[in-house]
């Protein structure tokens, strides 16, 4: 059974089906999911049928593309409706966007951000606090996320995932769509980790878990605009932006752990502002590679994403989201226009911005793209694989693949570019925060054809495209970095293996002292508390282990994770020569 064939299932449906299982069936749920994955699946329109065995069939009804009710999953076995098969199918399917059945308990972020009406006290916005339903939902999300952290991704089976999905549904009903979305992203990350999905990255799961725990922890103390930010909005608003003249920059494939795939094309206007045109829908690697040849969903234009990345677009009646995504409403009109080379105006001005300013903007919450002029210098080996080494204004930058899925050509293209040592190229990359200059390579000038460019996630370079190397391989510069990894490694280990991997008596002993000796006293204290919280298991008068203090471990891990992230951003700013104060004030 391929997950791509299963329709997305709403979080509330999965939680409901798991909750009605008996304790005996809950213990067998993960094994049931594995067995169901080996069964044949047939999809006919909005109906998906799974042959559980020769006589029993499971049916999922997904009108509108998603399963939104528990009775839309039907099974023909004797234990139905409270059978293992229905819960297993829901737990194996992608998570659908959950839509609340009732209006939010509090105003949305858009309403909360409006200026006070005439005659209203100006302090109303700053003193508004969370509603009781929102406080209860935040506690539920925090408790469920702490349970996932306690077990780690390795031990967070379908039952723990369902508990977090139920909490996410409760948060959405209470008017906390941002908290709900963060909780769902944790479930998706855990599922990707447990299934060895090529799209899984442990740092992403760490960030997702830190985000959901942090928001649930902050919400009871938040008021006014801080509370509005934590609540978030169900949809990003699109605002009119008049007429736009856009120039294609590059396209990149999208392949997520949530079961969505497609392509995003980046464009820029004459002033250097970036806009995106996306085509993302449920699907797998095939959709990610094929979406580039689909027509963009803007007006009546027949341009494909691949063509738009090298051409231009004239848009009238444009609508734009706060993140720069172009809307495709009925009133939007678009026609093909001429493009521009990266070395010509107006795109050339993107590379004219000092790299330090670009990094500061990315660390401050910007789009994260870097426009770099680099000289290729071969490869450098790291613990997580080989990296393309490049010189950028005298700074050694390590360029990595943007996605590890073998269906995408990122890795093959990076390997071929490494052979073009000495070649100077313009590239587009995405910043990776860390103590060394690192970025994910997205697009580059063609190494043999001046003026042409390559979308490294969609186009495939050939050996014949590469010039002969004109310089010997450069040695990687010596690395003298602060040992922040002693803390961040434990933070990551906890997410992967849970509390137990940090609870061993000799696990990381002495690391906190080493951090203090190099001046990272706070990191040493946080690591010491994290290890102490992991090992804290009291016993009763009969010597039996008492329940672990999940809250203490979650608070210790959250503090360590937030600190490691902030220090990592500061070290990243220093590594690229960016102004740390500018980064701090722009966030």
Kindly report, residue by residue over 436-457, the tens digit of the pLDDT.
Answer: 899 999 999 998 888 899 999 9
Dihedral pair phi/psi, residue 201, rounded to 5°: -135, 125
Average the pLDDT over 228-239 and give the result.
76
How far is residue 61 from each of residues 7, 66, 72, measured CA to CA in Å? 8, 8, 5
Lowest mean pLDDT among 138-142, 229-233, 545-549, 564-568: 545-549
CATH 2.60.40, applies to 239-337? no
| pLDDT class of 307 with cuts at 50, 70, 90 | very high
The whole-chain average pLDDT of the chain stands at: 86
Average the pLDDT over 255-279 and give the result.
89
Q: What pLDDT does residue 4 have? A: 65
Average the pLDDT over 530-538 and give the result.
86
Which residue do the tokens 């991704």 mark? 153
Choose between 555 and 291: higher pLDDT.
Answer: 555
Q: Which of 216, 250, 251 is nearest to 230 (CA)?
A: 216
| pLDDT class of 559 with cuts at 50, 70, 90 | very high
Q: Collect all residues with Cβ–Cβ distance below 8 Å to 121 and sequence separation of at least 6.
A: none
pLDDT, tens only, 115-143 = 444 444 444 445 688 899 999 999 999 99
Please list the alpha-helical segments (H only) found in 339-483: 348-352, 355-363, 410-417
Average the pLDDT over 269-293 and give the result.
88
Average the pLDDT over 62-70 and give the result.
90
- Within 10 A of 269 (CB to CB), how many other CB atoms are there? 15
Q: What pLDDT does residue 581 have? A: 58
Q: What pLDDT does residue 381 have? A: 82
Q: What angle do CA 108, 178, 581 make, to 5 degrees?
A: 100
Q: What pLDDT does residue 579 have? A: 73
Domains 239-337 and 353-465 belong to one CATH topology: yes
Distance CA 416, CA 167 (A): 47
What DSSP string describes 516-563?
HHTT-HHHHHHHHHHHHHHH---B-TTSPBPPP-HHHHHHHHHHHHHH
Q: What pLDDT does residue 224 have? A: 87
pLDDT, tens only, 463-519 = 877 766 555 655 555 555 568 889 999 999 999 999 988 877 655 568 888 899 888
The winner for highest mean pLDDT among 54-58, 259-263, 305-309 is: 305-309
First-to-last C-alpha distance (Å) of the chain:
44
pTM of the predicted model over 0.85: no
Q: 543: burial class by Cβ within 10 Å (0-12, 13-18, 19+)?
A: exposed
Please list the alpha-helical segments (H only) found in 419-520: 485-497, 511-517
pLDDT at residue 245 tops 50: yes
Choose between 541 and 515: higher pLDDT.
Answer: 515
Lowest mean pLDDT among 249-263, 530-544, 548-562: 530-544
Average the pLDDT over 535-539 and give the result.
78
Distance CA 290, CA 315 (A): 25
> Which residues make beta-bridge pairs with 379?
388
Choose between 338 and 98: higher pLDDT.
Answer: 338
pLDDT, tens only, 137-160 = 999 999 999 999 999 999 999 999
Would you list the domain boundaries of the chain?
Answer: 3-92, 124-231, 239-337, 353-465, 485-586
On whether the CB atoms of residues 223 and 126 are closer than 8 A, the answer is yes
Q: What pLDDT does residue 100 have? A: 43
CATH architecture of 353-465: Beta Barrel (2.40)
Average the pLDDT over 207-220 and give the result.
95
Distance CA 468, CA 471 (A): 9
On whether the CB atoms of residues 292 and 262 are closer than 8 A, the answer is no
On whether the CB atoms of residues 355 and 575 are closer than 8 A, the answer is no
pLDDT, tens only, 330-389 = 788 888 999 999 999 999 999 999 999 999 999 988 889 999 999 998 888 877 778 899
Q: Which of 402, 421, 437, 429 is nearest to 475 (CA)?
A: 421
On whether the CB atoms of residues 151 and 160 are closer than 8 A, the answer is yes
Choose between 299 and 188: higher pLDDT.
Answer: 188
Q: What pLDDT does residue 477 have? A: 59
The token duo for 511 is 């690391």
């Amino acid at each position: 059974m391929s997950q791509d064939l299963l329709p997305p299932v709403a979080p509330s449906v999965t939680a409901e089906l798991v909750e009605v299982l008996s304790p005996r069936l809950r213990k067998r749920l993960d094994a049931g999911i594995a067995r169901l994955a080996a069964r044949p699946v047939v999809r006919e329109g909005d109906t998906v049928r799974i042959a559980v065995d020769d006589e029993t069939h499971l049916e999922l009804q997904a009108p509108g593309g998603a399963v939104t009710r528990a009775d839309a999953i039907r099974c023909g076995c004797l234990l139905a409706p409270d059978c293992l098969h229905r819960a297993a199918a829901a737990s194996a399917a992608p998570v659908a966007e959950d839509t609340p059945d009732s209006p939010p308990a509090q105003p949305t972020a858009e309403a909360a951000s409006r200026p006070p009406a005439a005659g209203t006290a100006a302090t109303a916005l700053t003193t508004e606090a969370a509603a009781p339903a929102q406080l209860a939902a935040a506690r539920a999300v925090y408790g469920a996320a702490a349970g996932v952290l306690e077990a780690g991704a390795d031990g967070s089976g379908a039952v723990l995932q369902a508990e977090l999905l139920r909490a996410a549904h409760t948060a959405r009903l209470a008017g906390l769509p941002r908290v709900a979305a963060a909780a769902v992203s944790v479930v998706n990350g855990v599922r990707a980790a447990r299934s060895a999905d090529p799209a899984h990255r442990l740092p992403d799961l760490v960030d997702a878990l830190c985000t959901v725990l942090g928001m649930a922890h902050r919400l009871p103390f938040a008021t006014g605009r801080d509370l509005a930010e934590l609540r978030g909005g169900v949809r990003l608003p699109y605002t009119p932006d008049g007429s736009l003249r856009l120039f294609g920059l590059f396209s990149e494939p999208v392949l997520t752990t949530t079961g969505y795939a497609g392509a995003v094309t980046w464009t820029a206007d004459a002033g250097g502002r970036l806009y995106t045109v996306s085509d993302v829908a449920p699907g797998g690697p095939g959709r990610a590679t094929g979406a580039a040849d689909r027509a963009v969903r803007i007006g009546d234009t027949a341009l494909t994403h691949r063509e738009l990345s090298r051409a231009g677009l004239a848009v009238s009646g444009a609508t734009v989201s706060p993140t720069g995504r172009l809307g495709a409403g009925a009133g939007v009109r678009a026609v093909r226009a001429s493009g521009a080379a990266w070395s010509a105006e107006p795109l050339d001005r993107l590379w004219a911005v000092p790299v330090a300013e670009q990094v500061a903007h990315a660390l401050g919450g910007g789009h994260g793209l870097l426009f770099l002029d680099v000289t290729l210098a071969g490869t450098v080996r790291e613990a997580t694989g080989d990296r393309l080494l490049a010189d950028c204004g005298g700074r050694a930058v390590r360029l990595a693949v943007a996605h590890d899925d073998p269906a995408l050509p990122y890795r093959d293209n990076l390997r071929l570019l490494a052979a073009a040592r000495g070649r100077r190229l313009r590239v587009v990359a995405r910043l990776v925060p860390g103590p060394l200059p690192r970025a994910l390579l997205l697009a580059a000038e063609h190494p043999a054809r001046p003026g042409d460019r390559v979308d490294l996630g969609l186009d495939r370079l050939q050996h014949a495209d590469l010039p002969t190397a004109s310089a010997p391989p450069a040695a990687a510069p010596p690395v003298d970095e602060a040992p922040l990894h002693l803390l961040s490694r434990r933070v990551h280990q906890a997410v992967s293996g849970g509390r137990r991997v940090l609870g061993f008596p000799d696990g990381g002993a002495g690391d906190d002292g080493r951090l203090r000796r190099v001046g990272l006293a706070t990191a040493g204290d946080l690591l010491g508390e994290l290890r102490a919280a992991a090992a804290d298991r009291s016993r009763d008068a009969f010597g039996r282990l008492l329940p672990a203090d999940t809250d203490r471990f979650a608070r210790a891990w959250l503090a360590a994770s937030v600190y490691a992230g902030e220090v990592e951003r500061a070290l990243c700013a220093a590594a690229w020569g960016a102004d740390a104060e500018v980064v701090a004030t722009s966030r």
